[in-house]
Structure 1
């Protein structure tokens, strides 16, 4: 039983004594730490005030006894000036020391950086060559991008950035030249002989560009024929058809495509638009000659009424993938 009236087991009492002992040790350490801090603070205050206290004591010694007001003020100003000079000198010395330390660190950093830039090749060179290489600027050292390559070995199959860049530049230049040439061809003029067919033929000529489409060609034809054929004035281009070599050419195809691809129809070439005669009126229709007939211009509603009658019964829509040349041979 404890004096404070606590009643418990022996283990509890031992644990309580142990905790009390730990608290006492912690309290003692805390008090020692506080005492140490007070001593350090007192020492710092004494260190900071030692100079001013020394000057104050010297001032008191110099002003012992009766002195005039002017002498008192002069001595006071002298002591203050001396104290200010000492503080300024100490501050300048501290700044100079800090600047010197900063410069020293900067030089050490530059020295380490320069050492890291040294190449492995400089380490294996002989002493005179190493000295010369170290004295020369790094920017003037020769670069050996293909050092150790045998010029006698066939390396055309290996990747080469320089060669690939030259090939790409050549391809780009040739592609640009080809595109320019094709644009020049498309801008060339083309004189087309056609026959407006309304049951009988009315042959005319019109000039277009090779790059123009069949739709543009039919618009030029309508403008040319409208003054003479009044029924065409109210007809749109979409209701007009162009038939060449028994093939109906869609409006989106261009003459450039027909010429470049050397397209062929059922009875002759589609890429020749000169003045020709109908081979069916002259001889064997299975034999192609240079004297082929001109293309026909008809209205769509005329074709719908007469597509079961010759010659409209032979017409079909042009298919670029189809081969129409196997039905006839070329004479000569």
Structure 2
């Protein structure tokens, strides 16, 4: 076998390996797409009963008065409002941040009141200088306690406003006009 034939064989074997790898990649891509499609289809045909409905069903066994039902419904709405606004999670999120600034300053100022060498020399306290901040930099992605509280307050206001609108619409009276025929036309209004 000549060197040219040997080179051609190596070239063909590499070409076959590349074709095999491409076929494997395409096969993997098709399998991924098939999995994705089955997941999407299964999501489309899931029941949409809310957690609230399940909680109401679980808590109301047997005959329940209207007042009890309304009370349980209000409690569940409050819970869902807290979930929506994230109010409960915000308090539990950073429990270590509750130290006051004075406590932190006291911890930083602690210095030995005596010199182990018994010398009267005082070492100058070196103050750490802050690196200047650039006001043009976008810091909206950084965690900010004030911004988080502001968004929670906005969410609470929106939830409250939405609940008020719902109650207002529920309490509105609807005027229904209807007619019927029994030899002559009758038109009536009902609220």
Work out whether the TM-score is over 0.5.
Answer: no
Place the TM-score, normalised by the shorter chain, in its bin.
Answer: 0.3 to 0.5
If the length of structure 2 is used for normalisation, what is the TM-score?
Answer: 0.33
TM-score norm. by structure 1 comes to 0.21
Write 1 or 2 for the structure with the bigger share of helix: 2
Higher strand share: 1
The structure with the larger Rg is 1
